[in-house]
């Protein structure tokens, strides 16, 4: 069943209006406490599904996380993907391009970080920064960033043709919630290091970012690489929604453990017969 997958999906090639999505949405749940059993069940299930993908070693999953500052990208990685075996997963953050990165095309640094077969890869920010921050701050002319929607769609199609499944999540928070989270950081010694004046400086560009996100989501949500708008004012609901979508999608892939490469009966006879006799003797 694709319940949350369908609910939060951005219809391919649609016009997105983020104003119509309630960032406070929490479905039927009253509170974190009442949602906890469901969150834990999906978390466990996600661990199993990743193990299956790892064992199958045929395809891979790319998860892109985008959102404004304090939208919860780090928290999502910690809470949703914490259930996943680190051996089958890579996480890559995309910051202001280094000198070497800036000397290449914008997809170069992302292509290097896509998942190998059997693996999950998480992008904390992604190639979409090049049609978001770059657009909002005019870091390149419009005629350059405008072409990037086609480049991104072609890139994601290439990955898909190589059995990389792609799911992209926009973490949708309100301006008030962002400010509340910034303030919380000031009062929390464990998070004061995260405070940056640059984050506050982005707030006057809120509407310009909204427009850039809406365009990117609408133009680049494809059947083979869908975008989801996740109500993210409640961190626990964000975690529930993303883990549920991941589980729904991965379950539908109907992955199978590979057949054993040996004859199990032969192995048992050859190596476990003695063990059995020993235990029978006890
Ligand atoms: P984060 O907020 O991801 O934890 P930082 O505080 O270092 O980490 O922010 C990374 C910054 O890098 C963000 O402001 C983001 O917009 C910026 N950035 C990412 N990719 C690009 C890019 N291609 N061009 C310009 N800036 C970028």
> In the structure encoding, which two tokens stand for residue 273, read together?
């017969």
Residue pair 30/240 in contact (Cβ under 8 Å)? The answer is: no
Task: Report whether residue 70 contacts ligand 1, using a CB cutoff of 6 Å.
Answer: no
Query: In the predicted model, what is the mean pLDDT of residues 46-57?
Result: 97
Task: Report whether residue 142 contacts ligand 1, using a CB cutoff of 6 Å.
Answer: no
Task: Report whether residue 94 contacts ligand 1, using a CB cutoff of 6 Å.
Answer: yes
> In the structure encoding, which two tokens stand for residue 250, read together?
């991965």
User: What pLDDT sits at residue 275?
Assistant: 66
> pLDDT, tens digit, for every residue of 107-139?
999 999 999 999 999 999 999 999 999 999 999
Query: In the predicted model, what is the mean pLDDT of residues 157-168?
Result: 98
User: What pLDDT sits at residue 89?
Assistant: 97
Task: Report whether residue 93 contacts ligand 1, using a CB cutoff of 6 Å.
Answer: yes
CATH number at residue 21: 3.40.50.300
* Closest residue CA from atom 11 of ligand 1: 95
Parallel, antiparallel, or unpaired for β 227-231 and 120-124? unpaired
Q: How many domains does the chain have?
A: 1
Whether 281 has a pLDDT exceeding 70, the answer reads no
Q: How confident is the model at residue 146 (pLDDT cuts 50, 70, 90)?
A: very high
- Return the ligand 1 atom nearest residue 202 CA: 14
Range of the domain at 25: 4-281
User: What pLDDT sits at residue 150?
Assistant: 98
User: What pLDDT sits at residue 276?
Assistant: 59
Write down the mean pLDDT value for the chain: 96
Measured CA to CA, the distance from residue 189 to residue 192 in angstroms comes to 5
The CA 95 to ligand 1 mean position distance, Å, reads 4
Task: Report whether residue 97 contacts ligand 1, using a CB cutoff of 6 Å.
Answer: yes
User: What pLDDT sits at residue 83?
Assistant: 87
The percent of residues in the chain predicted with pLDDT above 70, rounded, is 97
Whether 274 has a pLDDT exceeding 80, the answer reads no
Please report, for residues 40, 73, 105, 197, the alpha-carbon distance to residue 192 in angstroms, rounded to integers and kept in the order given: 29, 17, 35, 12
> pLDDT, tens digit, for every residue of 178-237?
999 999 999 999 999 999 999 999 999 999 999 999 999 999 999 999 999 999 999 999
Task: Report whether residue 116 contacts ligand 1, using a CB cutoff of 6 Å.
Answer: no
User: What pLDDT sits at residue 245?
Assistant: 98
* Closest C-alpha among 82, 206, 222 to residue 152: 222
């Amino acid at each position: 069943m694709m319940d949350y997958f369908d609910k939060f999906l951005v219809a391919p090639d649609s016009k997105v209006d983020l104003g119509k999505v309630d960032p406070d949405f929490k479905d039927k749940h009253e509170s974190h406490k009442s949602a906890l059993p469901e969150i834990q069940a999906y978390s466990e299930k996600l661990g199993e599904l990743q193990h299956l993908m790892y064992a199958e070693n045929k395809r891979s999953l790319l998860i892109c996380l985008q959102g404004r500052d304090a939208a919860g990208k780090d928290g999502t990685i910690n809470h949703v993907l914490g259930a996943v075996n680190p051996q089958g997963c890579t996480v890559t953050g995309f910051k202001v391009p280094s000198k070497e990165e800036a000397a290449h095309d914008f997809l170069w640094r992302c292509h290097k970080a896509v998942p190998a077969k059997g693996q999950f890869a998480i992008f904390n920010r992604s190639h979409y920064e090049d049609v978001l921050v770059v657009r909002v701050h005019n870091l390149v002319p419009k005629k350059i960033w405008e072409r990037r929607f086609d480049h991104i769609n072609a890139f994601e199609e290439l990955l898909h043709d190589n059995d990389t499944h792609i799911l992209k999540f926009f973490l949708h928070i309100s301006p008030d919630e962002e400010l509340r989270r910034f303030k919380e950081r000031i009062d929390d010694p464990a998070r004061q290091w995260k405070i940056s004046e640059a984050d506050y400086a982005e707030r006057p560009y809120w509407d310009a970012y909204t427009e850039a996100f809406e365009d990117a989501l609408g133009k680049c949500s494809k059947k083979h690489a869908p975008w989801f708008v996740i109500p993210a004012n409640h961190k626990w609901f964000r975690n529930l929604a993303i883990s549920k979508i991941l589980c729904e999608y991965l379950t539908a892939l109907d992955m199978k453990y590979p057949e054993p490469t040996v004859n199990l009966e032969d192995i048992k006879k050859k190596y476990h017969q003695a063990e059995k006799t020993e235990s029978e003797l006890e």
